[in-house]
Amino acid sequence: MGTMQERITTTKKGSITSVQAIYVPADDLTDPAPATTFAHLDATTVLSRGIAELGIYPAVDPLDSNSRILDPYVVGEEHYTVARNVQKILQNYKSLQDIIAILGMDELSEEDKLTVARARKIQWFLSQPFQVAEVFTGSEGKYVPLKESISGFQKIMSGELDHLPEVAFYMVGGIEEVVAKAEKLAEEQS
């Protein structure tokens, strides 16, 4: 595979983009075969059974997935910083999950409770209503510009949306839809 990947290059006449699908035995990313293969790739998108079980689609694991172009010189400082901060919050949440499972949310510090709440909102906000999946989900597909997505994640991380329920972040487009969904949920409960 390395030999093939090294031959893929841009020339004056064009370029080739190669997309590889790699089966990872037992979902073990540290297995030598896939780990060696990943070294030749510019980006990896890891689909997670655990995320799919939560009903989040696409079931992309933002902690195990990576890209060489997630670099401030390529995507811009704001995009890079927001993406890394999202990953940091999700990683902190992941490390708190054992404590939550054993002791419950009540035993967490206020700061950790806030981390968990924001991480859950981020997880739900990562779900996307796809146009190609409309026939299966019954939900209209949405297109959200990159700047709007980045802004939405910034608002979640800053605490600007702490008052909104987690469920309002599920399968929506931008933050305006999150707010509208939260208002609709509040009306239904009253």
- Asked if residue 36 is part of any domain, the answer here is no
How many domains are there within the chain?
Answer: 1
Say what the pLDDT of residue 120 is.
97
Q: Considering just the CA atoms, what is the radius of gyration of the chain in Å?
A: 19
Give the separation between CA 187 and CA 117, rounded to whole angstroms.
22
Residue 49 included in any domain:
no
Decide if 10 is inside a domain. Answer: no
Instruction: Please give the backbone phi and psi of residue 30, each rounded to the nearest 5 degrees, phi first.
Output: -90, -5
Which pLDDT belongs to residue 7? 67
Q: Is residue 9 part of a domain?
A: no
List CB contacts of 166: < 8 A, sequence separation 6 or more: 117, 120, 121, 124
The pLDDT of residue 152: 97
Confidence of residue 2 (pLDDT cuts 50, 70, 90): low
Query: Considering the domain boundaries, does residue 112 fall inside one?
Result: yes
In a domain, 42, yes or no: no
The 10s digit of each residue's pLDDT in 115-137 is 999 999 999 999 988 888 787 77
Q: Beta partners for 44?
A: 66
List pLDDT tens digits, range 135-180.
777 778 889 999 999 999 999 999 999 999 999 999 999 999 999 9
Q: Specify the CATH number for the domain of residue 73.
A: 1.10.1140.10
The whole-chain average pLDDT of the chain stands at 89
pLDDT of the residue at 159: 96
Note the pLDDT of residue 20. 76
Q: Can you give the pTM of this predicted structure?
A: 0.86
Let me know: does 31 contact 9? Beta carbons within 8 Å: no
Beta carbons of 72 and 57 less than 8 angstroms apart? no
Report yes or no on 89 lying in a domain.
yes
Give a yes or no: residue 39 inside a domain.
no
Report how far apart the first and last C-alpha atoms of the chain are (Å, whole number): 59
Q: What is the pLDDT of residue 90?
A: 98
Report residue 85's pLDDT band, with 50, 70 and 90 as the boundaries: very high
pLDDT of 5 reads 64
Q: Which domain holds residue 160?
A: 63-189
CB-based contacts of 111: which residues, under 8 Å, 6+ apart? Answer: none
Which pLDDT does position 184 carry in this prediction?
95
